[in-house]
Structures are given as structure tokens and as C-alpha cells.
Amino acid sequence: MSARGSGGTGGSAGRGPAVRVGIGYDAHRFAEGRRLVLGGVEVPYDRGLLGHSDADVVLHAIMDALLGAAGLGDIGCHFPDTDETFRGASSVLLLAATCSLLEASGFFAAQLDATVLAEAPRLAPHVPAMRARIAEALGIDESCVSIKATTNEGLGWVGRGEGIAAFAVAQVDVIAGARPAVPRAAPARRAKAPVRSRAVRKRRPRPPAAAPRKRPPRKRPPRR
């Protein structure tokens, strides 16, 4: 981590805080004939999740959280489902590509926490493998990755077993010595002074000048 390191909590001058936090969410419905991949790990189950890539809701939520923390949009901006390049793609590779996007902008993934909502299958036995897989893809210590799994207590579409959802919170730090490229806000436009109507702009007529005073004729002294 020689090239990395937190620059403290103050941040670069005029570039925002050195520590940033983002939140991500993703959800996919179940579909027959698909593999169930969560957190980069294939989980044995009779159905998988429907999606353009491998539909890994855990990694997709994490990617959105990382991109959001760095102000880089979301996964739809960088890996759209209209691009055939990403059809069936491994979300682990997309996560690694997200990490490269962060570093190119002067950030690195520092810590993340994700929660998976699934009524079935039971995911607790697979959490350690998910943490290891994610930490490896991001190049961070496994202790900086937290994955939790819970049910929705039978409530809503998750509770009915129609699909799986995931939430994630991620922290990104500024790479030591880097100046993150943050778009500056456009300068505020100065309001124009209101234009006065023609009637107001017309000059007022001047009062007529006073007639000059006539001096009385000067009397000359009589000649001697």
C-alpha cells in the first residue's frame, strides 16, 4: 500500500474530502436454467438470477457503492446491459474493472459492508468465500470486507422467494499524492439589470432658461 494511503480527513484543497462514502442497491428475480452467483461465488441452488451478466446482486450493489462514493455514476453508465460485450460476463471481472476506474480517478477502495436479502438458499456457509473473493478482486485486506446475509421474514417479493436483493456501503480514500478529478460547478451567471421602459429612459425636458437681465445704459459725464 505504498502508493496508497489516506490523506487524512481534510482532503485536498478545493477537491473535496479525502474519505468518501457511497451506497449501492441491486435486485434480480429468479429464473430457471441459470447459475446462482453471489459475491463472486457459485451457490448450489435449483435456480439462478436473471440478468445481462451473471446477475451477481452482491457485487453489483458493491460496484454501485464504490462508483457512487467516487462520484463516477453507476454500473449502468460503465457496463450497460445494451452492450453485448457484457452478456454473461463475470461480475468479479467487472468489479476489478471498477477498481481500475477508481484508481484512474485518484481513489482506492478502502472498506465495504454488504447485506444480502434472500429467503433461500442459506448463504451463511458461503460468506467466508465471498469475502475472500471480493478482497482479492479489490486488492484489499479481507478484514475490510463485510458480508451479511438475512431473510426478509416472508415479507414482500423477497419473502415469497421471487428473487434476491442486496445493499452495500463502501468507503473510498484518496490515493496519497493524487488530485482526484472532480468536475467543477459552472460559474453562476450574473443576473442582468432590469431594462427600464422607454418612458423612463427618456430625458425629462429642461425648464426654459431665464431671460437675461438688461443692464441700464451707463451715463457718461457731460463734456466741459
What are the residue boundaries of the structural domains of the chain, listed by start?
Answer: 19-174
Angle between helices 57-69 and 91-104 (to 10 degrees): 10
- List Cβ neighbours of 29 (8 Å cut-off, separation of 6 or more): 49, 50, 157, 162, 163
At 138, give phi and psi (nearest 5°). Answer: -90, -10
- List Cβ neighbours of 198 (8 Å cut-off, separation of 6 or more): none
Distance in angstroms (rounded) separating the CA atoms of residues 66 and 152: 25
Q: Is the model's pLDDT at 8 over the cut of 60?
A: no
pLDDT, greater one: 175 or 172: 172
Give the pLDDT mean for 171-183. 71
Residue 128, beta-bridge partner list: none
Give the pLDDT mean for 57-74. 95
Give per-residue pLDDT as tens, 87-132.
Answer: 888 999 999 999 999 999 999 999 999 999 999 999 999 999 999 9
What is the pLDDT, as a whole number, of residue 171? 96
Q: In which region does residue 139 sit, left (phi positive, over 0), alpha (psi from -120 to 50) or beta (all else)? A: left
Q: Is the model's pLDDT at 33 over the cut of 80?
A: yes
Q: In percent, how much of the chain has pLDDT > 70?
A: 71
Q: Which of 14-18, 54-58, 91-95, 119-123 has the lowest mean pLDDT?
A: 14-18
Distance in angstroms (rounded) separating the CA atoms of residues 120 and 116: 11
Q: In percent, how much of the chain has pLDDT > 90?
A: 61
How many CA atoms within 13 Å lie on the side-chain side of 123? 25
Give the pLDDT mean for 13-27. 78
Distance in angstroms (rounded) separating the CA atoms of residues 219 and 211: 24
In contact, 178 and 106? CB cutoff 8 Å: yes
Q: Is the model's pLDDT at 186 over the cut of 50?
A: no
Q: Which three cell numbers stand for residue 147?
A: 458480508
Distance in angstroms (rounded) separating the CA atoms of residues 92 and 60: 10
In contact, 149 and 125? CB cutoff 8 Å: no
In contact, 95 and 59? CB cutoff 8 Å: yes
Indicate the residue type of 183: P
**Alpha carbon of residue 199 to chain centroid:** 53
Distance in angstroms (rounded) separating the CA atoms of residues 109 and 101: 11
Question: Candidates 3.40.50.720, 3.30.1330.50, 3.30.70.270, 3.90.650.10; correct CATH number of 19-174?
Answer: 3.30.1330.50
